[in-house]
Amino acid sequence: MRVLVVTSMYPAPAHPGLGGFVRDQVEALQALEGVEVELFAIEPGPPTRFIRAARDLRRKYGGERFDVVHAHHGLTGWSALAVRGAPRVLTFHGTDLSHPIVGPLSRGLARLVDLPAPVSASLARLPGGGLPGAGTKRAAAILPCGVNLDRFAPRDRPEARRTLGLDPDGRYLLFPADPARAEKRHDRAVELAQAAGDVDLLTYGDLQPDQVPDTINAANAVVATSEREGFGLAPLEALACDVPILSTDVGIAPVALRGVAGTLCAPYDVDGWLRALGPHLEEPDPRVAGRRRAAIFDRNRMAARVFEAYRELVAETA
């Protein structure tokens, strides 16, 4: 099976942290027997890039044959329409459905592609999303990218702190996002750290991607305070490292954290979160038994699920 993946989220030298989860899925698909993946990555830039991308796709692949065209992100899906002759899958990641301008464009495209594929069931049910049926060619499939267990794994906490230049005896919380992303609610993490007292709050703001696993392992706990998530890899990455995680009940967190001792999945409330956080701040090396749960959402398992969706789609549209 030959697949063209079109994405506006993919790491590049100028943007090394962009779309690592899409890269993980592409690499996992490429490792599967029976599938050949061609990648077309749209560089970051103004909205006109999607028009240029459609032109470039038509020029590059106009005479090529693919079994499936798979686009990531709503606007990217519009560009991918330039490649004809194959059923289309479109993965929605969250902001492409909730954005006031991009959202309507994405929902309109969901009615044109052969398989709309939000990354979580909660995203499929997003009010006004219009994905499960409602004029679509086929009901939506849930196709997340998954967590990279090779990259995210338990590491020695003192060693991780030394690598990052942190105090080996310090107390650290990690806000697993760029503070500039308003929907991630850095303000809540700041409030929690201040209420805990004598705690340093780490963020992904200035980190390189290869520093992220050490930073997770360096933290006493990860605090994912988002007001919304399409899927939300941060809880899974913390679980994969056996690091305590406190998360709002958005995205995959309610499923991923259910029954895992030492974690919290609940609406943000500073007092309740402080009570859950307390034991992790007192322990020199707090851990949870999370990796086995994270493995359920391993990128390789998720890629196999995507490949099966391809096969079913090709059979249905033959």
Contact call for residues 137 and 13 (beta carbons, < 8 A): no
Provide the pLDDT confidence category of residue 102 given band limits of 50, 70 and 90.
confident
- Domains delineated in the chain: 2-146+298-317 (3.40.50.2000), 157-296 (3.40.50.2000)
Q: Looking at this protein, which amino acid is placed at residue 13?
A: P
Contact 26, 304 (CB under 8 A): no
Provide the token pair at 263. Answer: 């974690």
**Residue 201 forms beta bridges with which residues?**
173
Tokens representing 259 are 């029954």
pLDDT tens, position by position, 78-92 = 999 999 999 999 999
- Residue 135 scores a pLDDT above 80: no
Lowest mean pLDDT among 96-110, 207-221, 275-289: 96-110
Least confident of 97-106, 142-151, 153-162, 188-197: 97-106
Asked if pLDDT for residue 260 goes beyond 90, the answer is yes
Whole-number pLDDT of residue 174: 98
pLDDT cut 70: percent of the chain above it = 96
- pLDDT above 50: residue 134: no
Cα dihedral angle (118, 24, 105, 316), rounded to 10 degrees?
-60
- Look over the chain and give the mean of its residue pLDDT values, rounded to a whole number: 93
What is the pLDDT confidence band of residue 138, given thresholds at 50, 70 and 90?
Answer: low
* CA–CA gap between residue 92 and residue 99 (Å, rounded): 12
Residue 63's pLDDT is 87
Is a pLDDT exceeding 80 seen at residue 131?
A: no
Q: What is the pLDDT of residue 128?
A: 54
Q: Give the per-residue SS3 of the chain.
A: CEEEEEECCCCECCECCCCHHHHHHHHHHHCCCCCEEEEEECCCCCCCHHHHHHHHHHHHHCCCCCCEEEEECHHHHHHHCCCCCCCEEEEECCHHHHCCCHHHHHHHHHCCCCEEEECCHHHHCCCCCCCCCCCCCCCCCCCCCCECCCCCCCCCHHHHHHHHCCCCCCCEEEECCCCCCHHHCHHHHHHHHHHHCCCEEEECCCCCHHHHHHHHHHCCEEEECCCCCCCCCHHHHHHHCCCCEEECCCCCHHHHHCCCCCCEECCCCHHHHHHHHHHHHHCCCCCCCCHHHHHHHEHHHHHHHHHHHHHHHHHHHC
pLDDT value for 317: 86
- Looking at residue 9, its pLDDT comes to 95
Q: For 189-193, what is the mean pLDDT? A: 98
- CA 215 – CA 192 distance, rounded (Å): 19
pLDDT of res. 95: 82
Residues 162-190: tens digit of each pLDDT: 999 999 999 999 999 999 999 999 999 99
* This prediction's pTM: 0.93
Question: Edge-to-edge, what's the strand order for the sheet holding 115-118?
Answer: 36-41, 2-7, 68-72, 88-92, 115-118
Tokens of 118: 């939000």
Residue 125 to residues 251, 282, 297, Cα–Cα distance (Å): 11, 40, 20
Confidence label for 304 from pLDDT (cuts 50, 70 and 90) = very high
* pLDDT for the residue numbered 82: 96
Identify the band that residue 236 occupies on the pLDDT scale cut at 50, 70 and 90: very high
Are the CB atoms for 119 and 24 separated by under 8 Å? no
16: pLDDT strictly greater than 70: yes
Q: Tell which residue, 26, 138, 44, 36, has the closest CA to residue 87.
A: 138
Task: Name residues whose C-beta falls within 8 Å of residue 219's C-beta, 6 or more positions apart in sequence.
Answer: 172, 173, 174, 202, 243
Task: Reply yes or no on whether the pLDDT at 96 is more than 90.
Answer: no
